[in-house]
Amino acid sequence: MNSYNRVFFEGVTSAFDEKGGVTHVDYARADRAPLYIITGEIDHVVPPAIGRAIVRKYRSTGSPATVDHKEYPGRTHRLVSQEGWEEIADDALAWAVAHTTTSVA
């Protein structure tokens, strides 16, 4: 039976093994879903520089998969619990709808 300890320790130890392990990310994968990184300008938990770095990492691979970023001025980490959260929700929904593909079986 798995426990949270296993998940925690696998996650921690794999941080030192970027090329493998349970948290390996294939940044160059061409068939992944579109990715939208949303950050707040004054987020001190996950600073916007981290969001921008993630986008650069994905784009540097040359993968044709979509990765976009939007930073909201004056926002903290708690983007959707601050006044005006509806703007962020509307933007995210519009982005998701614009990047939806329909496949016909």
DSSP secondary structure string for all residues of 81-105 = GSTTHHHHHHHHHHHHHHT------
> Is residue 58 packed enough to be buried (19+ CB in 10 Å), middle (13-18) or exposed (0-12)?
buried
Sign of CA dihedral 9, 13, 15, 19: negative
**What's the pLDDT tens digit per position in 32-73?**
899 999 999 999 999 999 999 999 999 999 999 999 999 999
* Cβ contacts of 48 within 8 Å, gap of 6 or more: 39, 40, 41, 71
H or E segment to which residue 67 belongs: strand 67-72
Q: Domain coordinates of the chain in residue numbers? A: 31-98
**What's the pLDDT tens digit per position in 1-26?**
556 556 555 655 555 566 666 667 88
